[in-house]
Structures are given as C-alpha cells and as structure tokens.
Amino acid sequence: MSGLPFDQLEGEIWYDGAYVPWAEAKLHVLSHGLHYGSSVFEGERAYGGQIFKSEEHTQRLLASAREVGFDIPWSEEQINTAKEDLLKRMNLVDAYIRPVAWRGSEMMGISAQKNTIHLAIAAWEWPSYFDPEQRLKGLRLDMAQYRRPDPATAPFKAKAAGLYMICTISKHEAERKGYADAMMLDYRGQVAEATGANVFFIKDGQIHTPKPDCFLDGITRRTVIDLAKARGLEVIERAIMPEELEDFEQCFLTGTAAEVTPVAEIGPYSFEVGGITKSLMADYDAAVRPQSTAPAAAVA
C-alpha cells in the first residue's frame, strides 16, 4: 500500500459493467446507499493471482442484496469473471478485492423502489490487516460498548454497510485506548465477534466458537472449522458467556482480512499463542496458498 487516500490510487475499477479510471469511479452525494445504508459488499483476497473462494463470496454478495431488498442486475458468472479480469488488468497477484452494490439517486427518502442498483469492484494490494509484529504476539482487544442486534431488528445474514456503523465506533474507541480491536457481545450478553472478524477459543484441546445466530457466519470462519475438523479437533458451536473467557487457554480471530490471528488479551482476560492456534494459522496459509507445504501435526 502506498499510504495515499483510496480515492487517489491509480488503476481501474469495474463499475456497472465497464472499466473506468480509478479517479472517475464516483457516485452522487444523494445516492440512497450513502444516506440510508442500502449497500452490501464483500471482502475477498487473492493469493498468487487466485481469488480464494471467489464463488462463495459472490453468492453471499447476491444473497446479501436480497436480504436488504434488492437484486443485483449481474449474474454470479459475470461478477466472478469481472473480478478475475480486474486482477489481470491491475497486474495484481496478492490483493484485496472489494465488490460493493448500492441503491442510486433516483429517489431520496426511505422508499427507493425506482432507484438503479449499481455494482462496482475494486482491487488493490493489501498487507496484513493488523500490525505483523503485533499479530504474532497476539492482539489486545477491548470490550465493545455496542452489541450485535437481535435478529428481529436487523438483517444479520447480510454483509450490509449499515450493520458496520457500531463496529467502526467500537474499533475507534478501542484504538484510542491502545487496543487493536474490540470484542462485541450480542443482544443477550453472549460473546459474539470482533468488529470485523469471528472469534474462536481453545480449552483442553477443544475449540469453542459462538453460534452465528445474530452475526455473520464468515467464509473464513467456516474454512477454519473445516481445517480444524480435518486435524481431528473437536469444534463446538455454542453460546459463550463473557465470564467463561477466564477459563480459555487460547483465542484467535478469523476473517478475510484478519486471516487467522491470535489474541493475547480481551479486557481483563489473557490467552497464550499456543500450538493449536499456530497450527491453524499454518493450515490456513497452506489452504489459500496451494504452493505452501503441507501442515504439520497439531499440537496443544
């Protein structure tokens, strides 16, 4: 990354079916997606020129749009092809890909039945989401003020822009205190997720993770569960109360940007960067980079 603001990067962006110069990929200030959060997006990564689980991400993008009440007027095949072509046009090998769809500006108000649905895809070089040195030591997480909402109050299965407002607030507050991120509870007071990643805990060789019944069931989350089971590790999806964190030995986050990242601290609770976490980090790296060596045997 160059350190430039994102609107000043160079290259092209796929925008409504055409490639436009990066600086010209604009939308009007009265777009419905900006004012009312009627926007959905994906975060994807390419390793060695190949987008990891591209089809799954596109399927979720289309499903997210339906969850918030609109259909994206491009097919799954068209979107997948556009992502692949964009990587080549941008000459990117290891990159982050951001498809985003939103309601346009034909109507301005809660109702937007006649608004055009737009779709753009951008790609850029992306380093580690967290500081590499900090990541290896394990992240320090604060406890977030806001909670993931009741499923009856928000379309939690959608990767929708509006659902991330409380995540930004929580992450900013955590960073002001010197933490890397924040752990969010759900509306019941149970452990949910970090601001942009799912969470796992380890105790006595077993892996525990919150049941995704009011927050996004991440693609990386599901990938890591499969990797753990392939090692013969038991994965238990269940309700986890915050007071249980005292008894867990290891903790890690998963997400497209975060990949598999160890956690050393959540509020008053501490964790070690242990063998199972390190093994799953290596397994995930091998899964996304086929040229990597096979994973070593799991250790506690």
CB 271 within 8 Å of CB 251: yes
Rounded to whole angstroms, the Cα distance separating 43 from 61 reads 10
159 carries an active-site annotation = yes
CB 276 within 8 Å of CB 250: yes
CA 8 to each of CA 2, 3, 5, 50, 237: distance values in angstroms, whole numbers, following the listed order: 10, 10, 5, 26, 43
Tokens in use for 47?
């390793």
**Among 259, 273, 233, CA closest to 45:** 259
How many Cβ atoms from other residues are within 10 Å of residue 115's Cβ? Answer: 19
Of the residues 53, 83, 159, 171, which is catalytic?
A: 159
Angle among Cα 241, 245, 251 to the nearest 5 degrees reads 120
Catalytically active residues are 159
